[in-house]
Structure 1
Amino acid sequence: MSDNFEPFVHFAPLAQTLPLVCDSPHSGTQYPQDFRAAVPAQRLRGGEDTHVEALWEAVPQAGGTLIAANFPRVYIDPNRTLDDLDPSLLDGTWPEPLAPGEKTRLGYGLIWRNIDAATPIYDRKLSLEEVRNRIDRYYRPYHQALSGAVEETYRRFGAVWHLNLHSMPNNAYERLKIQSAHPLADFVLGDRDGTTCEPAFVDLVDAELRSLGYTVARNDPYKGVQLIAQIGRPAEWRNSLQIEIRRPLYMDEVTRERNAGFDQLQADLGRLIERIAVYLEEQGRG
């Protein structure tokens, strides 16, 4: 654990030729010293979308922008609103109004309470000061970097397509306490039930992934949370789509090591980015 790291890394293209901004808010693997969790580091790593930023290395190579968090979401989650905070975690009263959501009730809010349903992360309450520090030192800089990239891209091209990049555990339905009649898809595309991204772009991503041999679902079980909600306004040429990848496709969920499927998946995502680039050019936006 160390505090000697930047809150995010910005993979910029040599020249931005595409109105494409991607972010990986949950792939961070550097744990701040003040975390003071009561569970082993290996258990904490279960919350990581480990290697997701590496899977999508084709984005800056193709002329888009990729931003990835360096801090772990179990410490503070940049894909949650600031009011999505569990008051039971705190040793005092938060001075602003709070509105914890359903995932916060399960233990996965702005600051995670549990690593799984049976395992709390802390054996103590968090001080208001340390929560403020997490917000100011990590959460806000990440949001500022992403917002800056989105707005600069929109200014330059008159449009922006944003991909919010994640990976999901193989037991996602179980973690979310959802009874599903079918297995988890290889990819889940989330557009908050059609509200954050133009349908043609979602169709394109869906069709390309299926053509590569993957199973695809939409908004099941992940619809997307804060980041695509605040960026996606397709009527204004601001499109935002969340992409979840089933982790066993590319890594061992216990060791977090890349498995034999990593290289093929990385190459396939490169093909997807190539197809997206063609689409954006056809729109007159690339």
Structure 2
Amino acid sequence: MQDSSAMFLLHAPEGAAIPLVCDSPHSGVRYPEDFGHAVPRALLRAAEDTHVEALWGEAPKLGATLVEALFPRSYLDLNRTLDDIDPTLLAAPWPTPLAPSEKTRIGSGLVWRTVKNMPIYDRLLPVDEVRQRIARCYQPYHQALAAAVESTHQRFGAVWHLNLHSMPNNAYERLQIKSDRPLADFVLGDRDGTTCEPAFVALVEEYLRGCGYTVARNDPYKGVQLIAKIGQPALQRHSMQIEIRRPIYMDEESRERNANFAAVRNDITGLLKTMAAYFAAQPAWSGSPAAAHS
């Protein structure tokens, strides 16, 4: 396990490695002293993907790499591009061109403006402060994840990446989307079939449905910066976002694990084992599975 100034942890595979890299960019609960937020910490916690790293915690024991952020997404969102900044948050012009996205419009860009429609700050943020967050948090995390993906691909000739999240029960409302469908227990995002091989997505969906969960694809989450950057199926680089509906494993208000947490974690561990068996059957690796595990 690698510690990078306590901003993220890199859990290396334990034992025989498999071509799977997981990352949990939004489950951090360590709030930096320089955050300077004006809303209560309890309100900010609504932005956390709390406990996601624990739900997938068996991944390293099964041979996968797991990268987890330790700081909260409301401080800096790792699943955004570096130009996805709201200029109205800044005390001075940003030194390079900005391209605010729909996420910024609803208050959750690279630096979040609001949480539950409440302004997070009662001040404008100095440009240097935001740039320091990027240098201390964003760049090291992305570099570590990219290195894990690249080394795994080089070793096996293929890599599968899981971008791990959880979603609030009122996700459609949060995203300002009108829907007559209930939110699924799991949402698999592959940016409409562009970032991951269909067979792997189907494997995950079939397994989860077999456990009794409802599953949707790309509704309402398709995946954002991380899988868009990593997912290149034609190059044997497969990337998928997995969202878990929070009430199935925790209390959204208290953030405490509920009575179903252990069962959901066990199901996810079973999913990881199913993935490992799938990888072992793939002919795409540059070496044989036996050689890869040596």
TM class by smaller structure: over 0.9
Q: Which runs of 5+ in 2 are unaligned?
A: 290-294
Q: Hey, what's the Cα distance between the residues in 2 that align with 1:17 and 1:137? A: 29
Q: Does 1:135 align with 2:142?
A: no
User: Aligned partner of 1:143: which letter?
Assistant: H
Shift of 1:58: 1.9
Q: Deviations over 1:242-284 (max 9, x none)?
A: 0000000111111111000100000000110111011101104
| SS of residue matched to 1:95 | coil
Matches within 5 A, 1:51-70: 51-70=51-70
Contact 1:16 1:65 (8 Å CA) reproduced: no
Shift of 1:172: 0.3
Q: Hey, what's the Cα distance between the residues in 2 that align with 1:86 and 1:261? A: 38
Aligned equivalent of 1:151: 150
- Give aligned-pair identity as a percent: 64
Q: Which runs of 5+ in 1 are unaligned?
A: none
Matches within 5 A, 1:189-208: 189-208=188-207
Aligned equivalent of 1:36: 36
Q: Deviations over 1:161-196 (max 9, x none)?
A: 000000000000000111111110000000000000
Aligned equivalent of 2:271: 272
Q: Does 1:110 align with 2:110?
A: yes
User: Aligned partner of 1:185: which letter?
Assistant: A
Shift of 1:5: 5.0
Contact 2:84 2:109 (8 Å CA) reproduced: yes
Shift of 1:14: 2.0
Contact 1:91 1:127 (8 Å CA) reproduced: yes
Shift of 1:16: 4.6
Shift of 1:102: 0.6
| SS of residue matched to 1:35 | coil
Aligned equivalent of 2:292: none
Q: Hey, what's the Cα distance between the residues in 2 that align with 1:95 and 1:13? A: 40
| SS of residue matched to 1:179 | coil
Aligned equivalent of 1:86: 86
Aligned length, in residue pairs: 282
User: Aligned partner of 2:28: which letter?
Assistant: G
